[in-house]
Structures are given as C-alpha cells and as structure tokens.
Amino acid sequence: MGPKAIDLFAGAGGLSLGFGFAGIEVVGAVEHDENAVKSYNYNIGNHAFEKDITKFTPQMMLKEMKKHNLIRRKSQIEIICGGPPCPGFSLMGRSKISSLIKSGEWEGSDARHKFIDDKRNKLFLEFVKYVEFFKPKVFVMENVKGMESFESEEGAPIIDIIVDEFKSIGYENIQVKILDSSEYFVPQKRKRIIFIGSKSKKQIVHPVAYDSNLTLQDAFIDLPEIDILTGISAIQKLKPMSEIHGKKRKGLLRYFRNQKVLQHEIIHGSNSSLHKTRKVNPRDRGIFPLLTSGQDGPRILYKDVYPAMLKQVKKGLPEGYKMLPKSKGHLIVSLDKKKKRKWKWYDREKFGDKMRRMRWDEPGPTVVAHLEKDGYMFVHPREDRTISVREAARMQSFPDSFDFSAGGEVSFTRQYRQIGNAVPPLLGLAIGQMVMHYLGNEPKMTLEATFGVKPRVLIGE
C-alpha cells in the first residue's frame, strides 16, 4: 500500500480520488456536509466522518481511525491535505472583509492576529492543528486564487501570514503556487492556490504543467442531446468511440468512460450517467437561443437581451405563452389563466452577465457551487439549456463512474453543489504523483501514462 493520508474539508472527495489514483491511501476524511459524506463514502471509501471540524479534534480523529481499524498509530499518517473554506479570500468576499477592517470589527494588534482571529478563517487554524498533531511528512492545502491579492490592514500579504503560521509549527520548507487546472487535463479554467509544505530540507516542488488545451467539445462530444422540455436525454448511449477523432480527445473520453473510482468496480462504458439538467422554462426558451458565446461573432449576454431584444424573445416563446406589456413588467405568462406561474426579468444592471453561453472551443469557466441554485452561467455551447450534472462533473474531470447521487441518496441539486465545491481529481492526481515522488515512491497512475504526453518540464529539471 502507498503512504497514508487524511483529507480535511474533503467534500465529495475530488482530492482524495486524485491522490488515490496516484497511489496515496487516504484512510480518513472529515466533512460537515452530510450529502458530500454520502457521496464520498459511496465512491471513495467508507472512511469519511460527518463532523464539524471545530469540534472534532485531531485527537478524536485519531481515536476514530483506530476504532475503525484505519490505522494503528498516529505516525502512519504521512500526508494531510484539504481546502479549508475561507470566505475572506474569495474575490466576492474581499469587499466585505475590507468593510470589517475599516469598521474596526477585526480586533488585534498585528496582521497575523487580525487574520487568524476572524472566526470565518478559524477553519484554516483547524487545518494547522491537524498538521501540528499528526506531524505528516507533507501537507497540501488548496484555496481560492483570490487569496494572493488580499492583504491585512497593515499591508501584510495573507499568504505570508499563512506560511508563517505553518513555520511556527516546524514546517520551514513551504512552496506556494497558483495552478491552473486546465494545464492538468481538466477541461475547465480553474485557478487555485496550492500550499505544499514539509519539515524536510529536501526540495519540494509543485507539479509541472502540461500542454493539455482541452475544450468543452472534447469533454462533451460523446454525450447524447438533452430534451429541453424534460431535462433528460431520450437515449442513454454515448457516441461510439469509432466516430470520435483526435488522440487527445479520445484519451480524455477513455478516461471518463473507463476509469474506476476507488470504492467500487462499476463503469458505465458506452452509457451516460447522471446526464440530467433542469427543464427550460418558457421565458428561458425565448432567451437561450439568443445568447452567443463569442466563438463565431460578438458575444451576447443577458444584459444584451433584456430589454433590447424583447421582440426576438417574444417570437421565441413556446406556444401557449405570451409577454405582457411594459406597464406590467414584460412578464411571461401562460394563456391558460389556470396556470398562475409568472416569469420575471432580472435587473440587467445587477445581473448583466447572469445568463451566458460557454464556448465550444475553449475550456469551460470555473464550476461553482451556485449551480445548486441555477445554471444560467453555464448555458451549453450548442444546446439551448444549462449543463447537466454529468457535464459539470466532466468539466471537473470526474470519471463517469463517480456517482454524485450516492446510489440515489443525494438530490439532484445537491449533486451540483458537491461538484462545484470539489477539487478536480486530475489536478489532485498531478499533485499526488509529485508527492509520491517526493516521498520516494513510484506513482500508481500518472498523467503521462494516462494521456500519453510529457510535461513541459521533466521531473527533476
């Protein structure tokens, strides 16, 4: 067996899956969301604990892992990984943090205290506590890119504050770098900051990048068309591989179709799974055909449609529906008075880019947990609908064998949330294979072997 690891803030298990592919044995995970824990245990292994980490101490974790025969002693844990949610680092949250600083609600005399005393960043401290207790040979911490541009009131970069916190517990060898998932065979532009640390003086490095250049067409090309009225496809069969062209594309699709998850041997092969999305309502049936990605001409977003293109929207409404006059807000209503549902319009000033079509010839945009609420920022490049669960999962590089419903236990919308919160497994694999090399082990699986390519810079150069 490979080196053993603990995954904190594990979600549905994207990082655990990637590490597992590399040969790292994740033997314990902590996650507070019950649906994510269901998916994790169903797909990764039955060792995820549904706990509030602020109340579930490292000592408790050790006791539980011993109780379930996951490890015999603390020293068996060589790696701790995870991505503690830190709202203060996200680009959307920075203005809120700034207002707190200005109002004096952040107490403390120095930058480090002001950061670590913010209760929303307490989860980061829990990660540090686990590292301090288990003393792994390596830790890997993932977070949002926005962290790099955030500073304390005194002008101290938050990254430096975090690095100092790890150094205070003996981890002097720390490397910090922003990795773009699209450079690791993930068909999505997703940038994340990755901290890798060790007590050893041996040089530790981030994974080198690849010229993957995968697009949404590469990821979606074999999936059957979805009926916008039902949200599901009439057929389940994937397009035959004999009809797929392109070495790199075929390599990606073979991975999606044939790669098994860690917990079970199920693969769907030539059949699609979880290829389901929301039904398209009457208003959106008039809007979606007007949205363009910018691939073949000017880009048209929601703000360009409303109110400038209302005549075209009106023409695109399904039979049995109409648009009320301006005096009544251009509401979309049914001609059948028994149907009381009305569809309003979003404020174009606040939500100008709320609806947007993705490009077919580029990696997709960053998948977010908001997909649980709606998929308007992820309108399909070629079909007039939002993306399916399986399409979102493929954008994140999850193989088709990964069942976010946990055998039917997790609701449709919660599946989207899990996907949006996940670390892309292939990014996890890239990091995991470098950790394996660092610890003196040969990776069980590599991006090179899986996709038949070489990194831009060879390992060790």
Are 437 and 373 found together in one domain?
no
Has residue 23 been placed in a domain?
Answer: yes
- Which pLDDT belongs to residue 123? 83
Asked whether the predicted pLDDT for residue 461 surpasses 60, the reply is no
Host domain of residue 376:
282-387
CA pair distance 180, 458, nearest whole angstrom: 18
State yes or no: cis peptide before 425, omega within 30 of 0. no
Token pair in block for residue 178: 């922003």
CA pair distance 46, 80, nearest whole angstrom: 18
Residue after which a domain boundary falls, among 387, 409, 436 = 387
- Which pLDDT belongs to residue 122? 72
Are 208 and 75 found together in one domain?
yes
- Which pLDDT belongs to residue 88? 52
Are 181 and 286 found together in one domain?
no
Q: Give the neighbor-by-neighbor strand order of the sheet with 342-343.
A: 321-323, 332-334, 342-343
Residue 1 binned pLDDT confidence (cut-offs 50, 70, 90) = confident
Are 380 and 445 found together in one domain?
no
Are 382 and 428 found together in one domain?
no
DSSP-derived letter for residue 119 is: G
Are 11 and 143 found together in one domain?
yes
- Higher pLDDT: 217 or 102? It is 217
Has residue 378 been placed in a domain?
Answer: yes
Has residue 405 been placed in a domain?
Answer: no
Region of poorest pLDDT, from 57-71, 99-113, 392-406, 420-434: 99-113
Are 207 and 142 found together in one domain?
yes
Are 375 and 295 found together in one domain?
yes
| 346 in Cβ contact with 302 (< 8 Å) | yes
Amino acid 96 reads: K
Token pair in block for residue 123: 């989860």
- Which pLDDT belongs to residue 111? 47
Are 202 and 291 found together in one domain?
no
Are 431 and 348 found together in one domain?
no
CA pair distance 115, 124, nearest whole angstrom: 10
Has residue 394 been placed in a domain?
Answer: no
Residue after which a domain boundary falls, among 387, 412, 442 = 387
* pLDDT tens digits along 254-296: 999 999 998 887 777 788 999 999 999 999 999 999 999 999 9
Q: Can you tell me which residue has the tokens 């503690």?
A: 84
Are 357 and 431 found together in one domain?
no
Has residue 85 been placed in a domain?
Answer: yes
- Which pLDDT belongs to residue 121? 63
CATH number of domain containing 110:
3.40.50.150
Are 164 and 299 found together in one domain?
no
Provide the annotated active-site residues: 86
Q: How many domains does the chain have?
A: 2
